Amino acid sequence: MRFSLLLSILAPLASADVGTAGSWSVPYLPTRCNGNSQDQFPSSNLFVSVGDGLWDNGAACGRQYLVRCISSLPRACKSSTIQVKVVDFSNNPVGKKSADATMHLSTTAWAEIVDTSKGANKVNIEFAQV
């Protein structure tokens, strides 16, 4: 049972893309997807803003991705895979975003896949749309 559950979670990453991720801290509003609506954020607080390569003129809004950290300097990757929701365009000047990246993860999402005590501000990720 556990193996099949693990396989169902990791299978989409078999055809995953590789990119970079940075952190994104408050304020999160307004977003380019749904403005000032708090309802756009999942209750898990696992959400992202995406860069030009994924934005697709706004069609990315609401898309879900499985994301996992694959490498960083210093070594800060955790072994977890998370599911995140796109709520913003990374070029939106709202909020504090770290270095240019494929995705910017909410503080909660960042802490799920990156050991924040290591001081990494950008990591390499594997991601797949679900």
CA dist., res. 66 & res. 127, Å (int): 5
Of the chain, the end-to-end C-alpha distance in Å amounts to: 21
* pLDDT of 6: 47
* pLDDT of 78: 98
Q: What does the angle CA 13 – CA 84 – CA 89 come to, to the nearest 5 degrees?
A: 110
Alpha carbon of residue 79 to chain centroid: 15
* pLDDT of 97: 78
* pLDDT of 9: 52
* pLDDT of 99: 65
Q: Are 48 and 113 in contact (CB under 8 A)?
A: no
Positions of the chain with pLDDT lower than 70, given as ranges: 1-13, 98-99
pLDDT, tens digit, 9 for 90 and up, residues 78-100? 999 999 999 999 988 777 776 68
Question: Amino acid identity, residue 53?
Answer: G
Domains of the chain: 2-129 (2.40.40.10)
* pLDDT of 129: 98
